[in-house]
Homo-oligomer: A and B are copies of this chain.
Amino acid sequence: MPFLLLIEDDDAIRTGLELALTRQGHRVAAAASGEDGLRLFKEQRPDLIVLDVMLPGIDGFEVCRRIRRTDQLPIILLTARSDDIDVVVGLESGADDYVVKPVQPRVLDARIRAVLRRGERENSDSSAFGSLVIDRSAMTVTKDGQDLQLTPTELRLLLELSRRPGQALSRQQLLRLVWEHDYLGDSRLVDACVQRLRAKVEDVPSAPTLIRTVRGVGYRLDPPS
């Protein structure tokens, strides 16, 4: 299920879109300011951001630029109809698509799906980490050409890590991404799953070279050097 972050200061529009998008089968997090949006983004790691341009404080373009410094996820800008210059500035700030307000929810939904599809095509197929090859369409993982039997959870964990190679993900983030629930208090759940994954994926599970521990934070899948 796609996980969206909606950043929009107007309460009516925000809650309306949040409801509509939820109905259309997305998971939605919402923020009412640029600052909140950036914080939520770092915390929750959504798949896509719907971003209003006119925000108090940090405006949409700036939010977009800051996110783009580190991340490649799709960003859809919401712009007011009257602004002509938006498109140009928006393009330069790195957005993937534009939607003009007022927007019909199903139009926005169609755009979101289109952008995600585009991204999937680009991200998908297969990626390699050393001798480890992840085939996202067959949903298989092979090591030295040999098929690995990963369990569903192990597979999802590896997929989420591999979507952000080289980036450390906290246990909280992984719980949200892989298990889709927030966790109160810590547990060894993520560690246990990482451990099982390492057993299948690493050459020497006790000296992992692919899935590295980031002490005090979480885990990180190293890109091939």
Contacts and interface: CB of A to CB of B under 8 A. Distances in A.
Interface in A98-116: 98-100, 103, 106-107, 110-111, 114
B110 A114 contact: no
Identify the interface centre among A139, A214, A216, A217: most chain B CB within 10 Å of its CB. Answer: A139
Contacts of A164: 137
B88 A81 contact: no
Interface in A74-122: 81-82, 84-85, 87-88, 91, 97-100, 103, 106-107, 110-111, 114, 121
Contacts of A137: 164, 166-168
A15 interface: no
Nearest to A106: B88
Nearest to A121: B114
Contact of A114 (B98, B166, B214): B98
Given A138-B220, A168-B137, A100 B81 contact: no
A131 interface: no
Contacts of A161: none
Nearest to A135: B166
A17 B61 CA distance: 28
- Would you call the interface of chain A mostly helix, strand, loop, or mixed? mixed
Interface string A198-224: 000000000000000011110010000
Interface residues of A, number: 36
Interface in A145-166: 151-153, 155-156, 164, 166
A152 B216 contact: yes
Nearest to A100: B84
19 contacts: A81-B91, A81-B98, A82-B100, A84-B103, A87-B111, A88-B106, A88-B107, A88-B110, A137-B167, A138-B166, A138-B167, A138-B168, A139-B214, A139-B217, A151-B216, A152-B215, A152-B216, A152-B217, A153-B216
A-B complex: 7 closest residue pairs judged by Cβ atoms: A152-B216, A139-B168, A137-B167, A87-B110, A88-B110, A138-B166, A87-B114
